[in-house]
Structure 1
Amino acid sequence: MTVSFKKDSSRTSVTVGAAAAVAVAAVAAALWNAHKARRAEREHPPAGAFLDVEGVRLHYVERGEGPPVVLLHGNAVMLQDFDGSGLINALAARHRVISFDRPGFGYSERPRDRLWTAAAQAALFMKALKQLDVEQPVVVGHSWGTLAALDMAVQFPADIRGLVLISGYYYPTIRLDAAMSAPLALPIIGDAMRYTLSPVTGRLLIKQSVKAMFSPAATPRSFTDAVPHEMVLRPSQLRAEGEDGTLMVSSAARLKRHYGELRLPIHIFAGAADKVVDVDAHSRRLHRDVPQSSLTVVPDAGHMVHYAAAANIAATVEAVSGADVLEAPLLAATR
């Protein structure tokens, strides 16, 4: 009996010691990641202004004068992505351009008082635009931002002049990345992960992830300058990325029931070599389901097609903003 007690005591000591070591490592990682996040924010302060929309603090950039254009970015980036692509400058020459950090991204808040579905984000942006006295904008969405853009058109069809959709995810499919991001969206468990392990693994994987987004093109320096890695790896933004990834499929499932109802001009852009969203299953299918849409598939371009086709996208926005809502000219599709 005495020998057995000593063995059990030894095992308990090892277990307690291991648990203590893990706890210390977790605390150290959390402190380091918080330090990295604060440093990133010091080095990259807010680029624009803030707007309080029903208790949500939204960060946005506004440039130029003329017919209004709203830009909604995708997941894992922030509004500066449109700066890096040159799209903001291309549009601001003749338009009033408003680019939002979507909730939880960049410097916009993401309160936990609601699920930030595409519908919730669309409603928030429409209220923000009302505060800014913006009427009948052309809404440009990239990737996840296309879901919010479509929901703005579904909920408020009379208030949107047209849509320009880039590399969008439009139909529910099985997504491994959505399943992998789900834990980050969970309270407590997700919070612990995004303050400890997730930023560390993110630093190991981010170069490959960005490479896949731009493939087959090389990652341009303008992107890495505009969207610094440490800004997108902050714990606050990781929560937004995880939640958006989790809500993506359900948002697309709800929206697809309304595509046949859309009557405003819709122009779809996609990269022929997109490795993130299948062009046939999404962009070409949406083009078939929306009769008044046009489709431009850019050869040798990937998911970040707005870097390869900024001038073409800007010209399309110009065509939509100057056209009658129901009779916009359709651009020739490139297949």
Structure 2
Amino acid sequence: MAASIILIVIVSIGLLFIYNQWQFKKAEKSYQPAGKFITVDGIKLHFITEGNGPPIVFLHGGILSSSDFKETVKMAAQQGYQALAFDRPGYGYSEREKNRKISPITQATIIHKALKELGIDQPIILVGHSWSGTMTLSYALQFPSEVAGIVTLAGAMYKEGYAAENGDLLSKVVTKPIIGSIILNMLLKTPLSKGMAYSMVKETFAPEQVPEDYTKELYAIGFRPGHFRANREDVLMFPETSKNLSKRYKEITVPVVIVVGEDDPFGVIDHARRLKEDIPHAVLNIIPNIGHMIPELHPRIVMDNVNIISRKINKSYNILNPKE
């Protein structure tokens, strides 16, 4: 009897594992990469790009991938920019080095190397959403002469007030070597996880409406082992990094525009106001009647604020070169 129960358990575990692996492959076939790839330090990164002109680099938050900026990339190209949006390491179709802590600072360095490989030597406008607020500011601090301006969108920039300021149980569990692998490979394509995906998306877009099919894409792509683990690792790495890095935000001298929705449910309005205090020359735009997912829902607002940076750059250039 005991042997039969053990056998049933083993078979059930095996079938659950096989089912999840099949679902992961099925998801990738449904949402194939739409952009290009570049390899940096042996890590393959996926990115989408359109247009020619001054370069803009868009960095997504912690929920999906470069696809959050797909409409913004098109709009930027139409307005005369060279627009690039990367899947951050581990997200979407970008790889992530295993057994290494990847902080916002590390990720900024990886993106910097990718841009050099792509031959982009002109100073860039950096646009960072949500979690990438800190990553964007880190980039500017590491490579100040290579950044023309910064736009943060609903950016998280400080440990204090961050949703997982002290970590969270799910992140701590799924990043454990054994139990984490079991969860990631056997439970991500179950009804429980699907319910989690739908709840996560609804909360992230609140109080605005979730675009049709967005949740399906998140569940397909975001609920794969590598992507899900990358997100949970990022959640755990954020507090310490932002705590240390925020002491240096005052050093940033390039034009900065801080954009946040008045109805954002994640407390980043406080981060926006605090960053304005740390960087007095920054422009703070609190947009009424919008929430957190600015790139996905409001690409025109993104570009309106990018163009504020461009006008500041052009004004500065004309002052330095009055005959031109």
Normalization by structure 2: what TM-score?
Answer: 0.89
SS in 2 for 1:188: helix
Distance in 2, Cα, partners of 1:39 & 1:231: 10
In the TM superposition, residue 316 of structure 1 has moved relative to its aligned partner by 1.9
Is 2:174 the counterpart of 1:184?
yes
Distance in 1, Cα, partners of 2:91 & 2:300: 26
In the TM superposition, residue 61 of structure 1 has moved relative to its aligned partner by 1.1
Name the residue aligned to 2:72.
Answer: 87
Name the residue aligned to 1:254.
Answer: 244
Residue type of the alignment partner of 1:132: L
SS in 2 for 1:45: coil
Is 2:121 the counterpart of 1:132?
no
Aligned pair partner of 2:295 in 306, 315, 318: 306
Name the residue aligned to 1:215.
Answer: 206
Name the residue aligned to 1:8.
Answer: none
In the TM superposition, residue 76 of structure 1 has moved relative to its aligned partner by 2.1
Name the residue aligned to 1:9.
Answer: none
Question: What's the % identity of the aligned pairs?
Answer: 31
Distance in 2, Cα, partners of 1:24 & 1:283: 52
Is 2:77 the counterpart of 1:120?
no
In the TM superposition, residue 322 of structure 1 has moved relative to its aligned partner by 4.6
Is 2:50 the counterpart of 1:63?
yes
Pairs aligned (count): 311
Change (3 A) 1:133 1:25: same
Distance in 1, Cα, partners of 2:164 & 2:32: 33
Distance in 2, Cα, partners of 1:234 & 1:257: 35
Distance in 1, Cα, partners of 2:189 & 2:136: 29
Normalization by structure 1: what TM-score?
Answer: 0.86
Is 2:147 the counterpart of 1:156?
no
Distance in 2, Cα, partners of 1:140 & 1:100: 11
- Greater CA deviation, 303-312 or 287-296? 303-312
Distance in 2, Cα, partners of 1:299 & 1:103: 33
CA deviations on 1:105-145 (whole Å, 9 max, x unpaired) are: 11100111521100110000101101111121101111112
Change (3 A) 1:30 1:65: same
Distance in 2, Cα, partners of 1:314 & 1:240: 28
Change (3 A) 1:199 1:176: farther
CA RMSD of aligned residues (A): 2.2
In the TM superposition, residue 308 of structure 1 has moved relative to its aligned partner by 4.3
Residue type of the alignment partner of 1:136: P
Q: Which runs of 5+ in 1 are unaligned?
A: 1-12, 329-335
Name the residue aligned to 2:320.
Answer: none
Name the residue aligned to 2:24.
Answer: 37
SS in 2 for 1:120: helix
Contact 2:262 2:269 in 1 (8 A): no
Contact 1:119 1:152 in 2 (8 A): yes
In the TM superposition, residue 197 of structure 1 has moved relative to its aligned partner by 2.3
Q: Which runs of 5+ in 2 are unaligned?
A: 318-324
Contact 1:264 1:325 in 2 (8 A): no
Name the residue aligned to 1:238.
Answer: 228
Change (3 A) 1:21 1:166: farther
Contact 1:81 1:223 in 2 (8 A): no
Change (3 A) 1:300 1:315: closer
In the TM superposition, residue 310 of structure 1 has moved relative to its aligned partner by 1.9
In the TM superposition, residue 217 of structure 1 has moved relative to its aligned partner by 1.0
